[in-house]
């Protein structure tokens, strides 16, 4: 028996997906601290209270965004075929994401900072460290961290426009220079 009001069919999987997508975009654009739950709900087109239902809180949503972006696959290292290009293209389209931004700006929430740091290592540092160690290079961890720092510096400088020529340069001009810089640490 109904009261004559049409029932709304809820699609929790779709709402969850919309929240993840909206949050990922907003965290990339504004960072964690300047993104509100209300903003995420508005961009997703769903009730922001669903964030508490699906993710517990904004920190839980942030962590879910990071896990969703990576998936279960172990990413190739920065020097792997097409990996460097893919990351540079993505940063040119969307800007430096939350993981990259976490290297230069600590988030106010320690859970968020720890999640971003962990993803930075899983996505970038660890695969490079393994490559350098397999090559028998000394201090593979330090080499990997220096390479990642250099790479993120390029992404951020291109995105902010701070370094005029780097920001204006075509990706095809920048890519071989970045690759050569990173490969210099592989010898």
Q: Is the pLDDT of residue 26 over 60?
A: yes
Predicted local confidence at residue 10, as pLDDT: 64
Q: Please state, as a whole number, how many other Cβ atoms lie within 10 Å of the Cβ of residue 179.
A: 15
pTM: 0.74
Predicted local confidence at residue 94, as pLDDT: 75
What are the tens digits of pLDDT across the range 34-84? 899 999 999 999 999 999 999 999 888 988 888 887 666 778 899 987 999
Average pLDDT over residues 154-160: 88
User: How far apart (Å, rounded) are the C-alpha atoms in residues 92 and 147?
Assistant: 19
Average pLDDT over residues 87-108: 75
* Contact (Cβ atoms closer than 8 angstroms) between residue 25 and residue 50: no
What are the tens digits of pLDDT across the range 114-155? 888 888 898 899 999 999 999 999 999 999 999 999 999 998
Predicted local confidence at residue 106, as pLDDT: 66
pLDDT band at 1 (very low <50, low <70, confident <90, very high): very low
| CA distance readout (Å), 115 to 48, 62, 102, 135 | 22, 8, 10, 29
pLDDT band at 28 (very low <50, low <70, confident <90, very high): confident
Predicted local confidence at residue 72, as pLDDT: 66
Number of H helices, E strands in the chain: 11, 0
Q: Is the pLDDT of residue 5 over 60?
A: no
């Amino acid at each position: 028996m109904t009261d004559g009001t049409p029932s709304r069919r809820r699609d929790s999987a779709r709402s969850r997906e919309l929240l993840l997508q909206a949050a990922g975009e907003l965290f990339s654009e504004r960072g964690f601290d300047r993104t509100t739950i209300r903003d995420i709900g508005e961009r997703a087109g769903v009730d922001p209270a669903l964030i508490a239902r699906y993710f517990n809180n904004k920190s839980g949503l942030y962590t879910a965004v990071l896990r969703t972006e990576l998936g279960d696959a172990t990413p190739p290292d920065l020097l792997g075929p097409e990996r460097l290009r893919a990351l540079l293209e993505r940063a040119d389209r969307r800007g430096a994401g939350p993981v990259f931004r976490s290297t230069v700006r600590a988030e106010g929430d320690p859970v968020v900072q720890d999640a971003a740091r962990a993803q930075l290592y899983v996505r970038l540092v660890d695969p490079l460290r393994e490559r350098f160690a397999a090559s028998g290079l000394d201090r593979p961890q330090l080499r990997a961290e220096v390479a990642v720092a250099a790479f993120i510096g390029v992404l951020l400088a291109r995105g902010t426009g701070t370094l005029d020529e780097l920001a204006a340069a075509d990706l095809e001009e920048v890519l071989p220079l970045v690759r050569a810089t990173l490969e210099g640490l592989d010898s």
